[in-house]
């Protein structure tokens, strides 16, 4: 189990992590979400003992990372797939890790097979690996010591669709066997499929936390119409709150049946009506982090 309590980290005048607390439990994949610069990587580095916190604590199984005997056999960490000696081969990198942890050399072959790196690929130097191959090697290194806990920052970065599907299955199986996974990713669709718990961070603070089902249950209804201004007025008149959805239409704070009944007696022509949780994680993410987004998600009309 990973336990973070009142964690704070400041760089000069910038507070990267601001009084953050959460728990990641065995048997679950916890999705750690937030815009760039929100504090995800800093938090994960503190948990892994790579960055000191100004205050608060981060423990793994009740102790700090630095206090874990032979930590690679208890917690696997992948924060940067390129953070290995570029002149070493993939096999050499895993062999050094196995030797450091006191593992049999046969474990290297097991991990290479698990992540689908061929014998010829394992003999290539890291500098000649594609990003996807580096990710696979990084996952192999994280799993090398058969740890109970995984901390992964953007592990799907550089993987093709087949690779992403493979990684999803791997992590789901790992959690189902009792492992604890803390997963940071910008691939919201993948997180929505695999995660059990969600933590959303913005400007260094937790803005939402809970089970995926609980957080997405409040997504309401996605409704679109030919005349969305008229639709908004009808919903407002019926006391149903509605806000613009990220990909068009309105997100109404009511179930689809209630929205349908309100609209049925009007001249509003609907083009879509469904529970919003089909795209719920993206909708929720954009709403919760709207104050911290660099990009304006509304496209303005441009002159020719």
Which comes out higher in pLDDT, residue 221 or 46?
46
> Residue 298 pLDDT more than 50?
no
Asked, for residue 297, whether it belongs to a domain, the answer is no
Q: Are 156 and 31 within one domain?
A: yes
Q: Which of 199, 196, 249, 248 is nearest to 224 (CA)?
A: 249
- CB neighbours (10 Å) of residue 278? 13
Q: Is residue 276 part of a domain?
A: yes
Reported as a single tens digit per residue, the pLDDT across 132-169 is: 999 999 999 999 999 999 999 988 888 888 989 998 99
Residue 280: per-residue pLDDT: 64
Share of the chain above pLDDT 90, in %: 63
User: When comparing pLDDT for 9 and 288, which is higher?
Assistant: 9
Supply angle C-alpha 99, 102, 104, rounded to 5.
80
Give the per-residue pLDDT at 277.
54
Domain that holds residue 49: 2-215
137 and 50 assigned to the same domain: yes
In a domain, 176, yes or no: yes
- The total number of structural domains in the chain stands at 2
How many CB atoms are closer than 10 A to CB 294?
7
Do 149 and 47 form a contact (C-beta atoms < 8 A)?
Answer: no
**Do 168 and 234 share a domain, yes or no?**
no
pLDDT of residue 107: 95
- 1 DSSP assignment: -
pLDDT digits (tens, 9 = 90+) for 45-86: 999 999 999 999 999 999 999 999 999 999 999 998 888 889
Q: Identify the residue with better confidence: 283 or 164.
A: 164
Last residue of a domain, one of 193, 215, 237: 215
Q: Worst-scoring range by mean pLDDT, 10-19, 197-206, 211-220, 245-254?
A: 211-220
């Amino acid at each position: 189990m990973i336990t973070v309590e009142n964690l704070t980290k400041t760089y000069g005048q910038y507070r990267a992590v601001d009084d953050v607390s959460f728990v990641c439990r065995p048997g679950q994949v916890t999705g750690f979400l937030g815009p760039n610069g929100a504090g995800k990587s800093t938090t994960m580095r503190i948990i892994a003992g790579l960055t000191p916190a100004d205050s608060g604590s981060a423990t793994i199984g009740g102790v700090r990372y630095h206090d874990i005997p032979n930590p690679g056999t208890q917690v696997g960490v992948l924060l940067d797939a390129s953070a290995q000696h570029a002149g070493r081969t993939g096999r050499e990198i895993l062999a050094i890790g196995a030797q450091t942890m006191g593992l049999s050399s046969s474990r290297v072959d097991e991990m290479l097979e698990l992540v689908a790196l061929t014998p010829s690929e394992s003999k290539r130097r890291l500098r000649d690996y594609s990003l996807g191959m580096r990710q696979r090697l990084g996952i192999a290194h994280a799993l090398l010591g058969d740890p109970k806990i995984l901390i992964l920052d953007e592990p799907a970065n550089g993987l093709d669709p087949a690779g992403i599907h493979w990684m999803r299955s791997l992590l789901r199986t790992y959690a189902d066997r009792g492992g604890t996974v803390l997963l940071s990713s910008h691939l919201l669709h993948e997180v929505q499929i695999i995660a059990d718990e969600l933590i959303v961070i913005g400007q260094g603070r937790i803005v939402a936390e809970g089970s995926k089902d609980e957080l997405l249950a409040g997504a309401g209804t996605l409704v679109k119409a030919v005349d969305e201004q008229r639709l908004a007025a009808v919903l407002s008149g019926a006391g149903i709150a509605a806000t613009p959805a990220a990909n068009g239409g309105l997100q109404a704070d009511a179930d689809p049946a209630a929205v349908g009944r309100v609209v049925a007696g009007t001249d509003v022509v609907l083009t879509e009506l469904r529970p919003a949780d089909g795209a719920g994680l993206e909708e929720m993410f954009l709403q919760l982090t709207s104050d911290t987004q660099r990009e304006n998600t509304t496209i303005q009309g441009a002159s020719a």
